[in-house]
Amino acid sequence: MTELEPGLPGRYAHVCAALEAAEAKAGREKGSVKLLAVGKTFNAEAVLECARAGARAFGENYAQEGCDKVDWFREHHPELGLEWHFIGPLQSNKTRPVAERFDWVQSIDRLKIAERLSAQRPAGMAPINLLIEVNIDGEDTKSGVTPAELPALAEAIEALPNVRLRGLMAIPAPADDHEARMKPLLAMRTLFAEFRKAHPQADTLSMGMSADLEEAVLAGTTMVRVGSAIFGARNYNR
C-alpha cells in the first residue's frame, strides 16, 4: 500500500475546482462530467478520507485489493453508499468476486468477461454497468478493442441479461503537448458519437486522468478518472 501524504481534502477540492473550470472553458454545463476517484494502492482509510472530502464514486484496478475495499466499506460505512468501478484488466478467474461487489466494470475488451459477469451477477443486485475499453492509439501492449472490433462486441454484450452497456472507456498514451493529447481524445469523441447511433442508451464516455483532465473535458468526456492528483504519487512496491 502507498502511504497517504497529508492534504488530501485540499487536493480533492483542487481537482473539483479544475474540473469545474474545464467545464466552463469548454462551454459545458457545471456537473456534466462525473469524477471518479482512483484509489489503487491506497488503503481503505485513505479512500474514506476522500469520501469524507465529498467523493462518492471510486475506481479500483486490482481485483483482490478492490474487493477487500468494497467489503471494508460494506462492513464499516454502508451509510456512505459509495459507487464502485472496476477499471483495471480483469482475468476470467477473477470475475466472480467483482460481479458480486462492483457497480461498474469499465475494462471490457472480450465477450467472455462480460458473459461471466452477467452469469455471476447475484440475483437481487441491479444489472452491472459495463463500458467497452477501446485501444484508441493502437498500442500493441495495451488492452482494449480496436474500433473495428467494437460493433460486434457491443451487439453481443447487449444480448446478455444481467448487464447494461453504458458506453466506452479509453486510456490514451501519455503525451507532452496539448495537440498530441487532444488527438486520441477527439478520436474517441467521434467513435462515441458513432457508437450512440447503434446504442442510443449509451451515456458514458470515460476518458481523462490527472494529466489530461482539461483536454478530456474539451473533447466531450462524461467521466474522468483521477488518481494521483487526489491521492498523491503511487508506490507500486507492495
Ligand X SMILES: *Cc1c(COP(=O)(O)O)cnc(C)c1O
Task: List residues near ligand X by CB under 6 A.
Answer: 38, 40, 61, 87-88, 171, 209-211, 225-229
CB of 75 to ligand X, least distance (A): 25
Q: 91, 99, 175: which is closest to 130 by C-alpha?
A: 99
The smaller minimum CB distance to ligand X, of residues 162 and 234, is found at 234
Neighbours of 9 (CB within 10 A): 14
The smaller minimum CB distance to ligand X, of residues 39 and 162, is found at 39
All three cell numbers of 155 = 451487439
CB of 209 to ligand X, least distance (A): 4
Cα angle 100, 149, 67 (rounded to 5 degrees) comes to 15
CB of 110 to ligand X, least distance (A): 17
The smaller minimum CB distance to ligand X, of residues 123 and 236, is found at 236
Q: Rounded distance, CA 107 to CA 131, Å?
A: 6
Q: Rounded distance, CA 4 to CA 142, Å?
A: 29
The smaller minimum CB distance to ligand X, of residues 120 and 228, is found at 228
CB of 189 to ligand X, least distance (A): 18
Q: Rounded distance, CA 226 to CA 36, Å?
A: 6
Q: Closest-CB residue for ligand X?
A: 227
Main-chain phi, psi angles of 107, to 5 degrees? -115, 35
CB of 41 to ligand X, least distance (A): 9
The smaller minimum CB distance to ligand X, of residues 61 and 162, is found at 61
